[in-house]
Amino acid sequence: MLKNMDMDMKVKFLHGFAHKIRLQILECIKNEEKTVSQIVDAIEGNQSNISQHLACLKGCGIIAGRQEGKYVYYGLRNNQVRDLLTMFDVVLEDVESDVATCENHIT
């Protein structure tokens, strides 16, 4: 059984994935690094908003930034994060109809 601190840490980590824009960013950089401008263009977002979400993802250790000249390239921190995103898709495919009809979502 997880201790409360471990559970709180897990919830904090999962929060990094729990926003539509953050998931869009993760899907955008899943297979290759991109700059903020490339991410903004790809997901048709607002640069300030995207930057805030990138900071959240970086702060949670989900992504990493790499400076090259005047640009910062963002990518997934490691292959395990890529595997986790893929596993989300696999599990969701199995439970999609249940999720779609769930009326008990607690926020």
- Residues 27-61 have pLDDT tens digits of 999 999 999 999 999 999 999 999 999 999 999 99
Average pLDDT, the chain: 92
Q: How many CA atoms lie within 13 A of 102 on its CB side?
A: 9
From the DSSP assignment, how many helices (H) and strands (E) are in the chain? Answer: 5, 2
Class of domain 17-95: mainly alpha
Domain ranges across the chain: 17-95
Q: Which residues have C-beta within 8 Å of that of residue 67, sequence separation ≥ 6?
A: 73
Which pLDDT band, with edges at 50, 70 and 90, does 72 fall under?
A: very high
What is the reported pLDDT for 102? 86
Is pLDDT at 87 greater than 80 in this prediction?
yes
